[in-house]
Structures are given as C-alpha cells and as structure tokens.
Amino acid sequence: MEQLLRDIAAVIGPAHLLTDPADTAPLALDYRRRYQGRPLAAALPGSTAETAAIVSLCRQYGVAIVPQGGNTSTCGGATPDASGRQLLLNLRRLRAVRNIDTDNNSLTVEAGLTLAEVQRLAEEAGRLFPLSLASEGSCQIGGNLSTNAGGLAVLRYGTMRELALGLEVVLPDGQVLHALSGLRKDTSGLDVKQLFIGAEGQLGLITAATLRLFPQPTARATALTGLSDSRAAIRLLSGLRQAFGDRLTTFEIMSSACQSLLERHHPGQLPFQAPWMALIELSDNGGHAALEDALVSWLAEQPLQDAVLARSETERAQLWRLREAMSETQKLDGPSIKHDIGVPSSAIADFLEDCDAALQAAFPGIRIIAFGHAGDGNLHYNISFTRPGNAHLFDDEPAVNAIVYDTVYRYQGTLAAEHGVGQLKTGWLERYKDPASLQLMRGIKQLLDPDNLMNPGKWLSPGPHG
C-alpha cells in the first residue's frame, strides 16, 4: 500500500494526497452522519489524465476506489468502508469549463464544478440549466450525473438523463471514454453514456459532461395553494397540465405535518395552513403579467381552500423558501427514517392513504412527513416516533421500510427516485428489483469491473462474481 501511495503522489503531487486521518475523516463521514468510513487515503486529481492514472494504479494493486463529489449523498453512496483499504477519490479539483456553445445550447464542464456554478455559467451566457436542488451550492455535477438527480423542475425539463448530451468517463481499466458530443440525435449504436448516469460510480468515474441548456424564461407565475386532501392536489395537477402544458414547471406538495414543522421552527412564515399545500410555478417567454393573470383566472375556478400568488421576485423567493427549508427543518426536529420513493402521479393519493394506514396500524402514534415533487411522482416520505420519545427509531427501520416499499411496489413505484441506492438500500434493491434487471446490472458490472474495484458495496451488493 505504501508503494501505491508513493505512485499516486508522484502523479498528483504530495499536497493532493491526504493520508492524515484528521484530513480524511470529514470526507469519510456521510451527509446524514450515518456512515463513518476509514479510507486508505483521499486522492484529489486535477485532470482526467491524473484520474485515469490513479484508476490504473489501483487496478494494478487491487485497491478499491470510492468516487466522491460534493459528499452530499443521503444514502452513503460516496462513503468508504471502515477497512482502511479503499481509496477515496474526490473530484473537486476537476473544475475546467471546456466549452460554452450558445448556438447549440450546450455547456461542457468538468465534474468538480458545483451545480450552482453550472447554473451561473448558463445564466451568464443568457441560458438556463434547469436542474435545481436544495444542495446545489455544494453538490457537484459529477455526483448529479452519478445519481441521475432530478430536483424541482423534472416536470418540465427531466432528470440528468435528459439533461446530459455527452460524457467523459474513466473506465475501471483506466481507459477514457470520450463521448462529449453535443448531439441531440445519434443512432450509431448504443448510447453508452447512459450506462454511467445513475450508476453511482460503480461502472466508472465521470470526469466531464456536455449539458443541455435552454432559453431563459422571461416570465414566471408562482402560487401557493391550500387543498382539502391529497386527491384534490392530484386533480389540481391534472388540470394544470391540461390548461398550461409544458409551461407547468413545478408542482410541489406538503402535508399538514410539514406545515406544523415549518410553523414551529420558522414561525410566521406560512401565509396560511391547510390539510395539504401545493406550490405551483409556471414559466414561459413573454411578460409576467399575462402569465400571472392566466394562472389567477384558472385558479379562481378551482375548489381551493386558500391561495396566494407571488407578485414580486421577493414574494416568489419567500414561497420557495418554505419548500426548500423542509429537509433542514425536519432535521432540526430530530432523526427520521427517510424514503425517496416514486410512484406514478396518479397513484400518489392511493399510496398515501394505504401506506399511512398500514404504518399507523403497525406503529400507533407514528409521525409521517410527506412532501415532494408530486408533478413527477417523487415523494419524500419520512417517518419518526415509531415509539414514544423517538429513541429506538432505527431499530424499527427494517419493519418500517418493508411496509413502505411493499406499498410502493404495489403501485408500480421505486424505492429510489432521485437520491440513489448507495449502501443504505442495497438489500432492499435486491428484494424488489425485477430479477431480469438485476441480472443485467450484474452482467454489466462484471463486464466493466470484473474485480469489483469501483465503489464496491453500493447500488449492488456483491453477486456471484464478487
């Protein structure tokens, strides 16, 4: 191992190889503080060539690699194990902007740029990069790709699969896949870049990407609405889609339990409370007034309990802060069993009704916090107080997960809609994923990484090939 570290230091320079536990420990602790790893070292390459050289060395020495971006994974996907034998490979120094092509509406950047930096680059070029997440100031574009991030505007713009035109990837054998094309159409064989989007570093290291840009909207209309129940929310969503088409950018919902938390920790910020709330945003070209008037006129005909429309950018930001503060607000209130699940939007109300009832029957007095991206069916469905005092919450996690995931898959859903699988959900993935899909995933992993050196223990636990 000492020789490997000397060889890596020769590639990237000793200053960019961290071996002191005091330096590596913060990188080896996951965002939710559930997993604390102990890496062999942390390497910070400064280029694709350096990254490829490190991967080749690790393969030569049989050392596993754990790729890491901004270390914002909520599933332990970028955290090494405690063996002291895995190399943490952090890509934060890969920060070059390689190309901005406004005529092609594309931007090519390296993986270490944060999402917020990519958004600013697009804005400075008069364009929009629409991915938006609560962690956008710290998450990195490579991690967004590796988890197929979705965020707040999937309803209109799609996930990272739709937003990525091309990739550059260091493969497990040290070769570099050069596929940074900005093409929208290419039928010359398989679209191999899609193998690496959502693979959580199991198949290779994304070092750069060509991303799809859009015209900047010149008009937005944002409203917060109060609804009688989740079924009313889904009816409202369906009506908005019919009335406004792809001008409907965002449709976020929050339960009354979410509102109670917000009122407790951010008193006086909610303009009203209701059994359910929906945050709606339309975007388009043209003027604000016409779009706002269209939304107000349409909402006036709907059976709402209450509603407010943002009449300025300040008011719009205030409404968005309520939604964006939800995760951190829940964290202030103590630990929870988190679920990043997805079901078809049409099934959300039935899922909530069935799953809430099953959990309440199994754990009387349980608290359920449900919110998220109802427009694309992705809910954050978080559980606490399975017993009084919340002290034994994680002892009940397997039983809670079984109830939640059984219900999710009864409605043709998924246990990982945008946060990935990481090491948190590997066993559950194998329990619920279609067996043929699992076989194909393992076959691709075996083909590209036969020695299981790329982020082992995440996404898939070792199969018959280790």
pLDDT digits (tens, 9 = 90+) for 54-69: 999 999 999 999 999 9
Provide the pLDDT confidence category of residue 464 given band limits of 50, 70 and 90: very low
The pLDDT, as a whole number, for residue 81 is: 94
Q: pLDDT per residue over 280-322, tens digit each?
A: 999 999 989 999 999 999 999 999 999 999 999 999 999 999 9
pLDDT at 465 over 80: no
**Alpha-carbon span 143 to 133, nearest angstrom:** 12
Provide the pLDDT confidence category of residue 328 given band limits of 50, 70 and 90: confident
- In DSSP terms, which residues pair with 225 in a beta bridge? 278, 307
Which of 108-112, 134-138, 318-322 shows the lowest per-residue confidence on average (mean pLDDT)? 134-138
The pLDDT, as a whole number, for residue 327 is: 84
Q: pLDDT per residue over 3-43, tens digit each?
A: 999 999 999 999 999 999 999 999 999 888 888 999 999 99
Instruction: Tell whether the torsion through CA atoms of 386, 391, 394 and 395 is positive or negative.
Output: negative
- The residues near 6 (Cβ < 8 Å, ≥ 6 apart) are none
**Alpha-carbon span 371 to 180, nearest angstrom:** 36
pLDDT at 456 over 80: yes
Question: What percent of the chain clears pLDDT 70, i.e. is strictly above it?
Answer: 98
The pLDDT, as a whole number, for residue 32 is: 81
Provide the pLDDT confidence category of residue 466 given band limits of 50, 70 and 90: very low
Please give the average per-residue pLDDT across 231-235, as a whole number: 97
Domains of the chain from N-terminus onward = 97-215 (3.30.465.10), 219-328 (3.30.70.2190), 334-427 (3.30.70.2740)
Closest CA to 296 of 245, 252, 345, 244: 244
Question: What percent of the chain clears pLDDT 90, i.e. is strictly above it?
Answer: 86
Terminal-to-terminal C-alpha distance of the chain: 22
Beta-carbon neighbour count of residue 49 at 10 Å? 13
- Stated pTM of the model: 0.92
Provide the pLDDT confidence category of residue 461 given band limits of 50, 70 and 90: low
Closest CA to 116 of 91, 135, 96: 135
Task: Return the HEC string of the chain.
Answer: CHHHHHHHHHHHCHHHEECCHHHHCCCCECCCCCCECCCCEEECCCCHHHHHHHHHHHHHHCCCEEEECCCCCCCCCCCCCCCCCCEEEECCCCCCEEEEECCCCEEEEECCCEHHHHHHHHHHCCEECCCCCCCCCCCEHHHHHHCCCCHHHHHHHCCHHHHEEEEEEECCCCCEEEECCCCCCCCCCCCHHHHCCCCCCCCCEEEEEEEECEECCCEEEEEEEEECCHHHHHHHHHHHHHHHHHHEEEEEEEEHHHHHHHHHHCCCCCCCCCCEEEEEEEEECCCHHHHHHHHHHHHCCCCCCEEEECCCHHHHHHHHHHHHCHHHHHHHCCCCECCEEECCHHHHHHHHHHHHHHHHHHCCCCEEEEEEEHHHCEEEEEEECCCCCCCCHHHCHHHHHHHHHHHHHHCCCECECCCCCCCCCHHHHHHHCCHHHHHHHHHHHHHHCCCCCECCCCCCCCCCCC
Radius of gyration of the chain (CA): 23
Looking up tokens 């198949």, which residue turns up? 203
The pLDDT, as a whole number, for residue 463 is: 39
**Alpha-carbon span 68 to 56, nearest angstrom:** 18
- In DSSP terms, which residues pair with 442 in a beta bridge? none
- In DSSP terms, which residues pair with 378 in a beta bridge? 342, 373
**Alpha-carbon span 65 to 453, nearest angstrom:** 6
Closest CA to 129 of 168, 97, 169: 97
How distant is the alpha carbon of residue 117 from its chain centre? Answer: 17
Look up residue 311 and give its two tokens.
Answer: 């009449």
**Alpha-carbon span 8 to 14, nearest angstrom:** 8
